Amino acid sequence: MTDDVLLVHGGTPISGEIRVRGAKNLVPKAMVAALLGSAPSRLRNVPDIRDVRVVRGLLQLHGVTVHSGEEPGELVMDPSRVERANVADIDAHAGSSRIPILLCGPLLHRLGHAFIPGLGGCDIGGRPVDFHFDVLRKFGATIEKRADGQYLEAPQRLRGCKIRLPYPSVGSTEQVLLTAVLAEGVTELSNAAVEPEIEDLICVLQKMGAIISLDTDRTIRVTGVDRLNGYTHRALPDRLEAASWASAALATGGSVYVRGADQRSMVTFLNTYRKVGGEFEVDDDGIRFWHPGGPLKAIALETDVHPGFQTDWQQPLVVALTQASGLSIVHETVYESRLGFTEALNKMGGHIQLYRECLGGTPCRFGQRNFLHSAVVSGPTKLEAADLVIPDLRGGFSYLIAALAAQGTSRVHGIDLINRGYENFMDKLESLGARVERPNGS
C-alpha cells in the first residue's frame, strides 16, 4: 500500500526545532486512572498519537465521556457512568495496543468484572503478561481464559497484599498502583519499577486522593482509600521521543532544538550522548542537541530499568553509533529481541554483529537463554539507501534516522506504526528540512 510508504532522500543533516508533548508511556495510563475517580479529570499536554486514541475509545466504550478541554492538548474525562462494554467492541478497538490490560484493576473496582482481549504492542520479545495476572489474583480477582480473551471477576472488594515482582516491570507496577489505590488495606510492592512515568502516575493518583509512598529500595506502599476524586494534571514530557530526535540530529550531523524536553528525566541519556561526542544545551524550555563536527566516539552501553539507560533510547542511538569510530558494545537487558532491527542497518552498510552472550559488565536474564541480545557495532560506516520494512515503534524510527543519514533514496514501508508513539512525525521531519515524500505525491 503506497499510503504506508515513505520515500526518504538521505544525506542531508536535519536542523531546526520541534516540540514534544506528554509522554506516550504516561498519558494512556493517566487516562485509565480517570476511571477510578468519582468526578471528572483533566489531563493536559496530551499528544495526538494512536495509543491515546485507543484508550480514549476504550474509555468511551465503558461509558466515560471524553472531550477536549479549553487548551490545546487537554482532555476532560467524566467517569460518572461507567458501564460494561461489549466484548467484541473492546476486541475490535484494542487489538493493536497493550494498554487494555491496565483497565483491569479500575474496572474490577467500578464494575466487578473486566475483559481483556489478545494484546498487541511492539514485537520486541515475548511480551508476556504473567506478572499482571499474578498480581491481580493476589488482590483477589479470579481470571478465566476463554478463546476470545481473559475474563476477570472480583467476587468481593479487592484486598491489599504483599507483592514482589520477579523483575521491575513498568506495566506490572502500574497494574499494582491502579488496583491498590481503591483496594481494602495496605499493599506493599517490592522490586517495583521507578521510571519517571511511574512517578508521574503516582502524582496523578495522589492528586486524586490516593496514599502512596515510594522508598529508595524500589518498594512502593499504597494505603487503599474508599473513594478517589478527579485530577487536573499536566503530563510529563516524552523523554523517549526527545531522545529519538536527539539521535537523529547526531546520526545525520545536524542540530535539533527539542522544545519541551526535560533534563531531569534524561540525565542518563544526556551523559551517554556526551560520551558519544554529541553536544547539548539545556534551557528553561527544552534542550538543543547537535553534532559538533569531527568523529564520534565508540562507547559501551547497557540498557536497564530506570535510572539506567532506558531500552527505548537504544535503537535510535545505535544508528548514531554506526557513525562512531571504533567498536561500540550494546547489551540489551530489558527485552530479549530488541536488536533484530540491526539486520536492516547491515543491509545499508553498517557493521553490527549480534551475540548471545552478555557483553556488558552485568550478566542479565537473557545470557543463558540463547537470545541474540548483545551487539558490537563497528564504525564509522557509510550508510546506503535501502528498502526497509518497519519492525516496531522505536526500530521504525531508527530506520527513518538511518534513511536520513544514508546516501540515496530509501523506501520505508509500514510508517503508519510510527503514529502509535510519535505525534505528527511527518510534519516534524519536514520542518527539520528532511527530504521525505509519499510515493504517489500525496
Which residues participate in catalysis according to the annotation?
122
Tell whether residue 398 is a contact of ligand EPU (CB under 6 A).
no
CA pseudo-torsion sign 291, 17, 263, 420: negative
Tell whether residue 252 is a contact of ligand EPU (CB under 6 A).
no
Give residues with Cβ within 8 angstroms of 70, minimum separation 6. Answer: none
Using Cβ positions, the residue closest to ligand EPU within the complex turns out to be 171
Closest distance between ligand EPU and the C-beta of residue 433, in Å?
26
119-127, 206-214, 262-270, 277-285 -> range binding ligand EPU (CB under 6 A):
119-127
Site string for ligand EPU, 371-390 (x = CB under 6 A): --------------------
168-176, 268-276, 340-348, 350-358 -> range binding ligand EPU (CB under 6 A):
168-176
Contact 348, 409 (CB under 8 A): no
Residue in 125, 149, 316, 391 binding ligand EPU, rule: CB under 6 A: 125
Q: Locate 426 and state its grid cell.
A: 511527518
Site string for ligand EPU, 280-319 (x = CB under 6 A): -------------------------------xx-------
Among residues 54, 4, 20, 56, which one has the least CA distance to residue 420? 54
Among residues 429, 21, 47, which one has the least CA distance to residue 248? 429
Give residues with Cβ within 8 angstroms of 438, minimum separation 6. Answer: 2, 3, 5, 6, 7
Contact 287, 258 (CB under 8 A): yes
Residue in 150, 172, 303, 314 binding ligand EPU, rule: CB under 6 A: 172
Closest distance between ligand EPU and the C-beta of residue 331, in Å?
14
CA pseudo-torsion sign 360, 365, 368, 371: negative
Site string for ligand EPU, 320-339 (x = CB under 6 A): --------------xx----
- CA-derived radius of gyration, the chain: 22
Tell whether residue 132 is a contact of ligand EPU (CB under 6 A).
yes
Footprint of ligand EPU on residues 416-435 (CB under 6 A)? 421
Q: Which is nearer to ligand EPU, 117 or 421 (CB)?
A: 421
Tell whether residue 265 is a contact of ligand EPU (CB under 6 A).
no
Distance from C-alpha of 212 to C-alpha of 327, rounded to nearest angstrom: 45
Distance from C-alpha of 433 to C-alpha of 421, rounded to nearest angstrom: 21
CA 298 from centroid of its chain's CA atoms = 26
The site for ligand EPU (CB under 6 A) is made up of: 24-25, 98, 122, 125-132, 167, 169-172, 193, 195, 240, 311-312, 334-335, 393-394, 421
